[in-house]
């Protein structure tokens, strides 16, 4: 049963982050997701210092606020200060992430947050953090319920606002022309990315969340150019990563989250080789059809 909870948690993280990551990949904003996943750390610490507790709602508010601030700073540096996009991302997230690490170090005695857990996560401990009713009934791991609720929110968000999300991703100019605010949907997406990052901290940490945010949708993008299929493939790939990643970790007795990240790389490499081979074969077939048939030899 322990294996089931670990795999389920990994799958929920990969699917939740991956669905949002599809739109980041299509918007060419993959590194913004990386920036947010690191920059929300000071928001978590500050929220705890102000409230004095680690209630999920308090932490989510603090982290989401920092996530939106990060996005705003990056956009301001890029559009107003004319800083290159990658430079704006690099300067912003490294600064804010460093501030978070320093705050953790300074207030380590007051902030009940393990630095290793924040940075690397430990999904193997998920089955220990359980929900127990007043009557003593064990309802299962707390992270599973949090991630399950988050996944429902993300899926509902994509289903109900699929038109706005797809238009702002593929053709922001047309979206603006028909009255869809690209700025609004940009910040809504970034807000959800921030929340997903925070909820996933306990399981995979700040460093590995970017793998689940960008890995599955990048693999799906290699296979298809249809957004709907890309979303479906992302879900399937996320589940496969969780399952095989855990099996590899159990076999070698190493970090589960790390093996899930490695599994992502292996699947990406395999899909890349496969699609590259198919592309070459198609080009070869086209060339062969264009070559006129030679005259029959006597």
Distance CA 296, CA 229 (A): 47
In this predicted structure, the answer to whether residue 286 has a pLDDT above a threshold of 60 is: yes
Position 62 confidence tier, pLDDT thresholds 50, 70, 90: confident
- Spell out the residues 6+ positions from residue 162 whose beta carbon is closer than 8 angstroms to its own: none
15-24, 32-41, 165-174, 278-287: range with lowest mean pLDDT: 278-287
Distance CA 224, CA 271 (A): 11
**81 near 105, Cβ under 8 Å?**
no
Please give the residue that has the higher pLDDT: either 17 or 83. Answer: 17
Write down all domains in the chain, each with its CATH number in brackets.
2-131+147-287 (1.10.3470.10)
Q: Can you read off the two tokens belonging to residue 277?
A: 């081979």
In this predicted structure, the answer to whether residue 234 has a pLDDT above a threshold of 80 is: yes
- Spell out the residues 6+ positions from residue 158 whose beta carbon is closer than 8 angstroms to its own: 19, 165, 231
Q: Can you read off the two tokens belonging to residue 20?
A: 């949002």
Task: Compute CA distances 158 → 68, 123, 131, 146, 262, whole Å.
Answer: 19, 27, 29, 19, 28
Kindly report, residue by residue over 99-118, the tens digit of the pLDDT. 988 887 787 555 555 555 56
Please state at what angle helix 2-26 crosses helix 162-170, rounded to 10 degrees: 50
How much is the average pLDDT of 202-224? Answer: 85
Distance CA 42, CA 58 (A): 13
Model pLDDT, residue 272:
94
Model pLDDT, residue 136:
78
Kindly report, residue by residue over 24-58, the tens digit of the pLDDT. 999 888 888 778 877 888 888 888 888 876 676 78
CA angle 259, 112, 213 (to 5 degrees): 35
Kindly report the pTM of this predicted structure.
0.87
Task: Compute CA distances 17 → 7, 37, 54, 139, 293, whole Å.
Answer: 15, 11, 22, 24, 53
């Amino acid at each position: 049963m322990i294996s089931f909870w670990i795999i389920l948690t990994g799958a929920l993280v990969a699917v939740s982050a991956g669905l949002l990551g599809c739109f980041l990949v299509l918007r060419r904003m993959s590194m913004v997701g990386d920036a947010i996943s690191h920059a929300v750390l000071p928001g978590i610490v500050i929220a705890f210092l102000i409230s004095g507790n680690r209630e999920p709602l308090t932490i989510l508010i603090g982290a989401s606020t920092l996530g939106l601030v990060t996005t705003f700073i990056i956009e301001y540096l890029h559009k107003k200060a004319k800083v290159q996009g990658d430079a704006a991302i690099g300067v912003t997230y490294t600064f804010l992430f460093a501030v978070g690490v320093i705050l953790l170090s300074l207030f380590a005695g007051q902030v009940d947050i393990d630095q290793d857990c924040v940075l690397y996560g430990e999904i193997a401990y998920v089955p220990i953090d359980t929900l127990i009713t007043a009557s003593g009934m064990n309802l299962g791991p707390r992270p599973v319920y949090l991630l399950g609720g988050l996944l429902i929110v993300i899926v509902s968000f994509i289903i109900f606002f699929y038109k706005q999300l797809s238009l702002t991703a593929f053709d922001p100019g047309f979206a603006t022309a028909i009255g869809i605010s690209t700025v609004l949907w940009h910040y809504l997406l970034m807000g959800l990315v921030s929340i997903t990052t925070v909820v996933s901290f306990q399981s995979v940490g700040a460093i590995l969340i970017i793998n689940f945010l960008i890995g599955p949708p990048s693999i799906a993008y290699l296979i298809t150019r249809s957004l709907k299929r890309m979303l479906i493939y992302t879900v399937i790939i996320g589940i496969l990563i969780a399952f095989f990643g855990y099996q590899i970790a159990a076999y070698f007795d190493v970090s589960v989250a790390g093996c899930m990240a490695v599994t992502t790389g292996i699947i990406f490499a395999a899909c890349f080789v496969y699609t590259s081979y198919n592309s070459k074969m198609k080009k070869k077939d086209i060339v062969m059809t264009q070559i006129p048939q030679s005259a029959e030899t006597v």
